[in-house]
């Protein structure tokens, strides 16, 4: 198998998915969870986009590009909603982690 730029970026996207998932699992701060979710998301986009670049000529497949632009906008909508929920949660409880994480920390 020859190494191409597209393959490199696809593998980069794969590792980003791993890094983002790790952050999502290990950090309880809700804003960090939102951030990790965005890292996973852009890793998925990079993977899809790089796989769409396996075309023969100089031009990439435009269909994945259109899907990714849609995805980026939807990810922002979700992030905005998540941030609004986090701020409301902080406003109601004064805590930046979920109740079950509080229990695990022992107070």
User: For residues 45-104, which are near another protein according to CB under 8 A?
Assistant: 45-47, 49-56, 58-70, 72-81, 83-88, 90-91, 94-97, 101
Count residues binding another protein (CB under 8 A): 84
Closer by beta carbon to another protein, 87 or else 99: 87
Q: Give the nearest distance from C-beta 106 to another protein in angstroms.
A: 10
Q: Give the nearest distance from C-beta 40 to another protein in angstroms.
A: 10
Helix H or strand E segment including 22: helix 5-26
Query: Using an 8 Å Cβ cutoff, are 15 and 42 in contact?
Result: no
Angle formed at CA 95 by CA 94 and CA 101, multiple of 5 degrees: 155
Q: Give the nearest distance from C-beta 100 to another protein in angstroms.
A: 13
Q: Give the nearest distance from C-beta 47 to another protein in angstroms.
A: 7
- Let me know if 35 is exposed, middle or buried by CB neighbors in 10 A (0-12, 13-18, 19+): middle
Residue among 87, 103, 92 nearest 28 (CA): 103
Contact map string, positions 10 to 49, toward another protein, x by CB under 8 A? xxx-xxxxxxxxxx-xxxxx-xx-xxx-xx--xx-xxx-x
């Amino acid at each position: 198998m020859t190494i191409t730029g597209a393959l490199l970026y696809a593998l980069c996207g794969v590792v980003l998915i791993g890094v983002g998932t790790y952050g999502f699992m290990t950090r309880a701060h809700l804003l960090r969870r939102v951030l990790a979710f965005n890292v996973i998301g852009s890793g998925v986009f990079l993977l899809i986009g790089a796989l769409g670049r396996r075309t023969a000529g100089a031009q990439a497949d435009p269909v994945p590009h259109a899907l990714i632009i849609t995805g980026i906008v939807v990810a922002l909508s979700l992030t905005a909603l998540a941030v609004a929920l986090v701020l409301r949660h902080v406003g109601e409880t004064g805590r930046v982690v979920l109740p079950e994480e509080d229990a695990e920390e022992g107070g």
